[in-house]
Structure formats: structure tokens, C-alpha cells
Amino acid sequence: MTDFKWNEDIDNVVFKSVQGVAVYSNPDGDIVIRQQGGPLDDDDHIVIVPSDRVEALIFAIKSEAGIL
């Protein structure tokens, strides 16, 4: 077995680990995007998007992803 180092042998990593992502609405009708915290995090990572800004967020994500 070879001595593999995740932080040094990045050319061999096909894809990085991804924590779980959830999308739901809060009682105010805002959209919550929540990513599960990693092993060193005390809490999850949360982004709250006002419902009237969701379309702009989706447009920006699609634009960054080259989908538009």
C-alpha cells in the first residue's frame, strides 16, 4: 500500500467530499439552504434567501454553472 496524502495528492482525487445539503422554507416563507457541518464544525452552514430573491439566485447559480 502506498502512502497517500489527501491534501498533497490532489491530482488523484476524482471529487472532494460533499456534506449534505437541504433546501426548505422557514415560517417567514424564506428559502433556507443548509449544508451539514463537517467534523470540525460546531454548526451547519445556513443561507437564508428571501422568497422574492429566489429567481435572481437561481439565475446566478445557472449562470455560474454555464447552464444559461
Enter the pTM of the model. 0.74
Predicted pLDDT at 5: 82
Predicted pLDDT at 25: 97
Domain ranges of the chain: 10-65
User: Using one digit for the tens of pLDDT, what is the confidence trace for 7-66?
Assistant: 788 888 888 888 999 999 999 999 999 999 988 899 999 999 999 999 999 999 999 999
Tell me: pLDDT of 1 over 70: no
CA distances from 53 to 5, 7, 50, 63, 68 (A): 42, 37, 5, 15, 18
CA 21: distance to chain centroid?
A: 6
Which position has the higher pLDDT, 47 or 6?
47
Tell me: pLDDT of 2 over 80: no
